[in-house]
Structure 1
Amino acid sequence: MGTTLRALRALLLLAGFYLLGVLLLAALAGADYLLLLHAPTSLAGKLIIVSVLLAIPLVQGLFMLRTPREEEMAGLPVTESDEPELWRTVRELANEVGTAAPSRIVLTADVNAAVSEDARLLGLRAGPRRLYLGVPLLQGLSQAQLRAVLAHELGHYSNSDTRLAAMTVRGRAQVLRTIRHFEQRADNTAAREQARQEKKNAKAEAKGKQAKEVDTGHAGITYRAMAKIYIGYAKLYFRATQSVSRRQEYAADTAAARIAGRDATASALREIPVLSSSFDFYMNCYATLGTDQELLPPRGEMFGGFGRMLNGRRLELVEMRGDLPTGPTSPYDSHPPIADRVRRIEELPDDGRADEDRGAALDLLTDPHRTLTELEDAVLTEAVRGFRRSADWQELLDEVMAKSFRAGSTPLHRAYAEYAGEQPTLPALLDLIEDGRLWELAKRLPLSEEAAAARGRVFREFVRPTLHRSLKSMALAELNERGLLRWEFSWERSAIPRPPRDAQGHETDLDEVVAPVVTDAPDTTALRALLAREPEPQGSPRGAM
């Protein structure tokens, strides 16, 4: 579909919104006229008031003339003097695509790239253009893959996608705003009706009468009926506009393959879902590890550590690249399924460009560490920027784990506190176990109906796994408190607790130490011996960084 036809389609869909509003207003006016002619004056007056209230959101939607201004994403704007190589690459690709380069590049902290344009006259006139480029993409893509991503986004400019989006955005905003108006009025009406009925029930109960069930199902029914009419149009509007968006994505993919190469484009499409999942994992398990204690990684490492994690988990990423997302599709999706996009690109003829630009995309930045540091200042809130900074990742892990164990609350902690009526500690628990009361204590654990009904050995088998896990957590907390526990930080795997070595210098397996304590004949010897060991010298290896 050419630009002219797409512009006409967008204009007709937008006009449909106005036509629907005019028809509904005409219907309300006609109903009011008939009421005045045939209905009793008192009833007509009440119904006309209702129709006026229904007309207000309609009129507000019709006179929402200005297209909502798009807010710039949070990020770090970079000029050509800041990042000359990045700008050179973007301008070169824009020239190959056959479009003007963006007037502004903004680096973001998202695994995404996007373009926007402040078009004028409903998209008939071009406006200032912005390119948003996620730094995590630079950390995870090769230069060839990045060129494919950038060519794809610039392809939206050459196809006038960003300019015609103005009409689409305006139509979506008006439809959704009108629906919200009706739903808010319906909710307000229902709330007033609920308050009225509750007040009436309170008076009835004060007089010794039985209160009636509160029923607000009928309240706001006319507003909800009007909202449903617009919801129906919204579904039509979104299906039509999103189908166009999906075709635009295919066209931009084709442009990327033509300019950056088939293999680079296909591999970039495969890589982005992997980077997205990896970045979510990184933010949850590394970057924000200390936020509950108001502690952040060192300056520049909030997002900078993502690249190190990608290097550390290369083998995991290889497996992930083979599994493309295959979730259910919807006619309201703005993008086609990634697997379908990859298939289309890989089916293109071989262009012999498999070995181009395999250098890291991050190398396009003049000073990556400086950029990563400035990005933190640009996207983190003022409150978060005020958090303390750790000296390194190992210090961050040590402090977080120490505080988390101090606040430990396992089922065994709670069971001991209930059973003994005192604060649970590991030495006190071991005394209780040596006194032969472990299985009495175990009855205070959260139990399933089957476990609670069990007796003897069957009961012990039910609760043994919970006892083992909880006792291991208490042992880690006690070792940590005594300075006997070290945590091994790693980009390749989860943090590993390292108890002190035995007399022969062998690693201690804490599961093997805890297991005898929860046998049918509990033995605490090995665990007490572990607690009695001396801390290892501070110069001992602390693991990978």
Structure 2
Amino acid sequence: MRVALRAVMSAALLFLFPLLALLLVGLSVFVSLTVSRTAGVYLAIAGLLVAIALVAVMWLVLSHKQNPPVGPRLNRTGRPAIWELVDELAEDIGTRAPDEIVMTSRIEVTLIDQGGFLFGERTQRYLLIGLPILGGISADELRALIAHELAHFGGGSALSRLIYRATVALRQTADRMGAGSVGSVIAAYARWFARTAWPVNRARERAADHWAVRASGPEATASVLRKMATLRSQWRTFNDRFLSMASAAKRQPDVLLGFRAFLMHPTQRVWAEGNAGPMLELRSSSDFDAHPSLRERIAMVDRLPDEGDLPPDLRPGFTLLPEPGEVVPMLEGKLLLEEPGEPASWQEIVDLAAMNEAREGLRQLTEAARESRLAPSGTLDEILEVLEDGGFSELIAPAVYPGLTGRRRAEVARTFGIALLTDAITYLLSVNGLIRHEVDWGHGRRVRTRQGRELDIAHMAGSAVDQPHTVQGLRQYLASMGVSLRTLPPGDEQERIGPTVDGVATLVKMSGELYDLVVFSTGILLASRDGIPTKKDGKSVGGAFGAHLDLPFEQLRRRPGNLWFAADELEDGKLDKQFMSGWRLVIRTVDGEKLTVRPTTNTEEHGQPLRAVSKLLGTRQLSKK
């Protein structure tokens, strides 16, 4: 009785609006006849303008005009399974099938009815199906959702159908009108109508769930309602965690298959069970939404008998699309990927994305290190040295947003610094083929060594940043893996110019000859002193090594009399401290050649050449007294 009464009241409200416009017209005429000529004309014009505006708005409501939805259309050619299903359900429910099926990028199954006249049937009807939802539900569950949407416009009395359509039309018109004076009047009227019609629309929502059960059974209907509690949130997570990798790699994976694997992972199942509760209880605060909470709907569905005689259809929802092997990738490229590239497996995409991300992180860390002037070459070797000395926060400062101050800036610097250091280590291990990345649908990706051991690089980087005394252990680990800490990002300008000079000791002696010992980031150069005077006006000119620096690296390396030993040509070495001479460097090459270098009384050190030698040798250094 209450629903019937509200239906009559809603119908009266629907016709009250045009009567209000007629009332304003009559009032304008009356005012123009009873008030003084000038004032009456102005008031009459104002009343007529308002009346015209209200009539125009009401025409928008009654004609129910909207822009057609945007998205790829599924045509009926070949009678694909999705169209057979829709036509069958529309006939069973007693309503007109949609004119078009439009695919979207959202988690949704929605039927919209627009165009034509609100009181007639000559409308344009669209069934919107979100492509992502087809990866998360079965064919049975899709059948239940479509039946629910079709039932909004079928079954029940003609009056209740009219009221439902009027509610939707008023909401859309109010949204389009905005917050102006006329828009405010329309919005107030639309809310008034929706509150009055709410019991009628609630009854239609319950009836729509009944039709879903008749079409697909209580089990499939309750299952899809439970999934809808968390499916949007899970799609967002999948988008952020996995589709972002596809965009970074500029490749096109099997998106729906990936989303399905993501949802079936134990981590996601546990998350959905633990987080569905609040969403199941959620009720919309909108006057226009008459849906009960998902928990109420599930409880009602569970009480209904299974009236269907169809066998269960547990296939993924996307299998109902026409030619899914061809259509699904086409739709994924159009709707779900920003820059679809060549087809690739998820494993390939994880590998590419990880490398791209690591390369970019190394580049940013290198730039920050150079800008800070604490690590001029920007190599990880120099960066770890700064980190070991406790200066990492100053080194990373150029990469941190300058508007941050105090504690917040320190927190961001630490977090961002760990992330960039993680990327740098990951890149160096990856380019040397020492690690591999694998898809982990529960967390994104995992890193493993070639032996299959899981590697937590972020933990290694975090420990180095928070506990500088662990940096030496990180150095030793990377050296044991054969990683060069002097690698620069691909295309780096300094990489094209040549290796950096880490230290110089001038006027050293080897085999009775004088050289300048130059320690580069990639090896050791013994630059001959032939032709360079050792004394001038009785003073040492050991610093005359500047004459060498004027030459390009390749020319310097090949200059007659100079001896070059690349890092990978050094078998091992020993650096001893001597009481009289200060130190002695003994190096053995992979060819078995043994070199002994000692300083002279005129030796001058620029930078820290001995420390640079130790770093270059790494674990190949035999002793250090």
The answer to whether TM tops 0.5 is yes
Q: Distance in 2 between matches of 1:524 and 1:271?
A: 47
**Other structure's SS at 1:114 match:** strand
Which structure 2 residues correspond to residues 65-464 of structure 1 after superposition, within 5 A?
66-69=63-66, 71-79=68-76, 81-83=78-80, 85-99=81-95, 101-102=97-98, 104-117=100-113, 120-125=116-121, 129-159=125-155, 166-172=165-171, 179-180=177-178, 183=180, 224=181, 228-291=184-247, 293=248, 295-298=250-253, 301-313=254-266, 315-316=269-270, 319=273, 323=277, 324-330=279-285, 331-348=287-304, 356-365=312-321, 367-376=323-332, 379=335, 384=338, 387-389=340-342, 391-408=344-361, 417-418=371-372, 420=374, 425-435=379-389, 437=391
1:528 alignment partner in structure 2: 475
- The residue type equivalent to 2:93 in the other structure is V
Q: Distance in 2 between matches of 1:316 and 1:126?
A: 48
Indicate if the aligned counterparts of 1:10 and 1:164 stay in contact, CA closer than 8 A: yes
Indicate if the aligned counterparts of 2:82 and 2:321 stay in contact, CA closer than 8 A: yes
Residue of structure 1 aligned with 2:447, choices 498, 501, 509: 498
Quote the offset at 1:230 in angstroms.
3.9
Which structure 1 residue ranges, 5 or more long, are not aligned?
184-223, 453-462, 536-545
- The residue type equivalent to 2:349 in the other structure is L
Quote the offset at 1:266 in angstroms.
1.6
The C-alpha deviation readout for 1:362-421, integer Å capped at 9, x for no partner, is: 44446422221232466479xx56x53353323333333333344449899869844739
Quote the offset at 1:100 in angstroms.
5.2
Higher helix share: 1
The C-alpha deviation readout for 1:279-321, integer Å capped at 9, x for no partner, is: 2322332224344x582424xx244432232333563366258
Cα distance change, pair 176–142 in 1 and its aligned pair in 2 (3 A): closer
Cα distance change, pair 13–520 in 1 and its aligned pair in 2 (3 A): same
Q: Distance in 1 between matches of 2:125 and 2:213?
A: 23
**Other structure's SS at 1:340 match:** helix
Indicate if the aligned counterparts of 1:274 and 1:320 stay in contact, CA closer than 8 A: no
Q: Distance in 2 between matches of 1:273 and 1:427?
A: 50
**Other structure's SS at 1:432 match:** helix
Q: Distance in 2 between matches of 1:89 and 1:309?
A: 27
Indicate if the aligned counterparts of 1:148 and 1:265 stay in contact, CA closer than 8 A: yes
Q: Distance in 1 between matches of 2:152 and 2:270?
A: 33
Indicate if the aligned counterparts of 1:142 and 1:361 stay in contact, CA closer than 8 A: yes
1:15 alignment partner in structure 2: 15
Cα distance change, pair 46–123 in 1 and its aligned pair in 2 (3 A): closer
Indicate if the aligned counterparts of 2:10 and 2:193 stay in contact, CA closer than 8 A: no
Indicate if the aligned counterparts of 1:119 and 1:163 stay in contact, CA closer than 8 A: no
2:590 alignment partner in structure 1: none
1:204 alignment partner in structure 2: none
- The two structures have a TM-score, normalised by structure 1, of 0.68
- The residue type equivalent to 1:373 in the other structure is P
Residue of structure 2 aligned with 1:476, choices 405, 423, 434: 423
The C-alpha deviation readout for 1:239-266, integer Å capped at 9, x for no partner, is: 2345533321111101222343222222
Over the aligned positions, Cα root-mean-square deviation in angstroms equals 4.7
Identity %: 26
Cα distance change, pair 34–377 in 1 and its aligned pair in 2 (3 A): farther
1:210 alignment partner in structure 2: none
Cα distance change, pair 418–401 in 1 and its aligned pair in 2 (3 A): same
Q: Distance in 2 between matches of 1:58 and 1:127?
A: 23
Cα distance change, pair 249–500 in 1 and its aligned pair in 2 (3 A): same
Quote the offset at 1:507 in angstroms.
4.3
- The residue type equivalent to 1:498 in the other structure is V
Cα distance change, pair 126–10 in 1 and its aligned pair in 2 (3 A): farther
Q: Distance in 2 between matches of 1:45 and 1:90?
A: 57
Q: Distance in 2 between matches of 1:250 and 1:18?
A: 31
- The two structures have a TM-score, normalised by structure 2, of 0.61
Cα distance change, pair 136–433 in 1 and its aligned pair in 2 (3 A): closer
Indicate if the aligned counterparts of 1:151 and 1:256 stay in contact, CA closer than 8 A: yes
Residue of structure 2 aligned with 1:488, choices 406, 429, 437: 437
Moved more, 414-423 or 8-17: 414-423
Indicate if the aligned counterparts of 2:64 and 2:114 stay in contact, CA closer than 8 A: no
Cα distance change, pair 123–70 in 1 and its aligned pair in 2 (3 A): farther
**Other structure's SS at 1:111 match:** coil
Cα distance change, pair 470–243 in 1 and its aligned pair in 2 (3 A): farther
Q: Distance in 1 between matches of 2:457 and 2:228?
A: 39
Number of aligned positions between the proteins:
470
Q: Distance in 2 between matches of 1:265 and 1:15?
A: 37
Indicate if the aligned counterparts of 1:412 and 1:467 stay in contact, CA closer than 8 A: no
Moved more, 46-55 or 356-365: 46-55
Q: Distance in 2 between matches of 1:451 and 1:156?
A: 52
**Other structure's SS at 1:115 match:** strand
Q: Distance in 1 between matches of 2:255 and 2:40?
A: 65
Cα distance change, pair 371–421 in 1 and its aligned pair in 2 (3 A): same
- The residue type equivalent to 1:140 in the other structure is G
- The residue type equivalent to 2:351 in the other structure is D
**Other structure's SS at 1:429 match:** helix
Which structure 2 residue ranges, 5 or more long, are not aligned?
484-625
Cα distance change, pair 425–255 in 1 and its aligned pair in 2 (3 A): same
1:538 alignment partner in structure 2: none
Cα distance change, pair 51–522 in 1 and its aligned pair in 2 (3 A): farther
**Other structure's SS at 1:269 match:** helix
**Other structure's SS at 1:524 match:** helix
Cα distance change, pair 415–341 in 1 and its aligned pair in 2 (3 A): farther
Higher strand share: 2
Considering Cα pairs closer than 8 Å and 6+ residues apart, tell me whether 1 or 2 has the greater RCO.
1
Q: Distance in 2 between matches of 1:367 and 1:5?
A: 50
Cα distance change, pair 421–336 in 1 and its aligned pair in 2 (3 A): same
Quote the offset at 1:267 in angstroms.
1.7
**Other structure's SS at 1:336 match:** coil
Quote the offset at 1:68 in angstroms.
0.6
**Other structure's SS at 1:71 match:** coil
Indicate if the aligned counterparts of 1:262 and 1:348 stay in contact, CA closer than 8 A: yes
Q: Distance in 2 between matches of 1:450 and 1:104?
A: 57
The C-alpha deviation readout for 1:201-220, integer Å capped at 9, x for no partner, is: xxxxxxxxxxxxxxxxxxxx
Indicate if the aligned counterparts of 2:109 and 2:145 stay in contact, CA closer than 8 A: yes
